[in-house]
Amino acid sequence: MTKEDEILDFLEARMFAPILNSSTTSERLKKATRGLRLRLKQRDAQKMIQYFWNTVIDANAKHANYGRMLQNEGITNFEEVVNDFRVKFKEL
């Protein structure tokens, strides 16, 4: 399994699928999640991680609307996923 596949599998299981399969998640967040998944697939592992941090984690960044959407919708396991992502992919 490539590092890219490992990153996508992690995010699919821990973030994307729960959001996309939720009956309470807004269509706006679901659309953004599908877009984020698509954009990540277009990058190598290092750029995936960089894009994830810039788009999802840095909620203060001008372009980090996705991270703010997660916070606004009250995605409760967001912090846990971020911490696990940091530990699992820190070597890249």
Long-range contact set of residues 40-48: C-beta below 8 Å, sequence gap at least 24: 40/7, 40/8, 40/11, 41/4, 41/8, 43/4, 44/4, 45/2, 45/3, 45/4, 45/6, 45/7, 45/89, 45/92, 46/92, 48/4, 48/7, 48/8
pLDDT tens for residues 76-87? 788 888 899 999
pLDDT value at position 38?
96
The confidence band for 71, taking pLDDT boundaries of 50, 70 and 90, is confident
Q: Whole-model pTM?
A: 0.87
